[in-house]
Structure 1
Amino acid sequence: MSGVIVSVDRNSGMVATVKMGDQITVIDESGVETGADTGPTPMDYIMSALGSCTVITLHMYAQRKNWPLERAEVTLQQRTLSNTESALAAGDKRTLISKTLQLTGDLTPEQISRLKDISSRCPIQKTLEAGMVIQTTLI
Structure 2
Amino acid sequence: MKTLNASIKNTPFKTEINTEDHVIYADEPVELGGENTAPSPFELLVASLASCTLITLKMYANRKEWEIKEIKLKIEYDEESKKIQRVIELIGANSEVNKERMLLIANKCPIHKLLESVLNIKTEII
What TM-score, normalized to structure 1? 0.84
Q: Does 1:112 align with 2:99?
A: yes
Aligned with 2:84: secondary structure?
strand
Q: Which amino acid aligns with 1:22?
A: D
Match of 2:5 in 1: 5
Q: Does 1:123 align with 2:122?
A: no
On the 8 A contact 2:93/2:99 being kept in 1, the answer is no
Following TM superposition, the consecutive aligned residue runs of length 4 or more in structure 1 with deviations greater than 3 angstroms are none
* Structure 1 residue 75: Cα displacement: 0.8
If each structure's strand is expressed as a fraction of its own residues, which one has the higher value? Answer: 1
Q: Between Structure 1 and Structure 2, whose CA radius of gyration is higher?
A: 1
Corresponding residue pairs, total: 124
Aligned with 2:108: secondary structure?
coil
Q: How does 1:1-139 map to 2 (within 5 A)?
A: 1-9=1-9, 11-30=10-29, 31-33=31-33, 35-79=34-78, 80-81=80-81, 95-139=82-126
* Structure 1 residue 77: Cα displacement: 1.2
Segments of 5+ residues of structure 2 without an aligned counterpart are: none
Aligned with 2:32: secondary structure?
coil
Alpha-carbon RMSD across the aligned residues, in angstroms, is 1.2
On the 8 A contact 1:67/1:107 being kept in 2, the answer is no
Match of 1:84 in 2: none
* Structure 1 residue 121: Cα displacement: 0.7
Query: Residues 76-119 of structure 1, C-alpha deviation per residue, up to 9 Å, x if partnerless?
Result: 111133xxxxxxxxxxxxx1110011111143111111111211
* Structure 1 residue 50: Cα displacement: 0.3
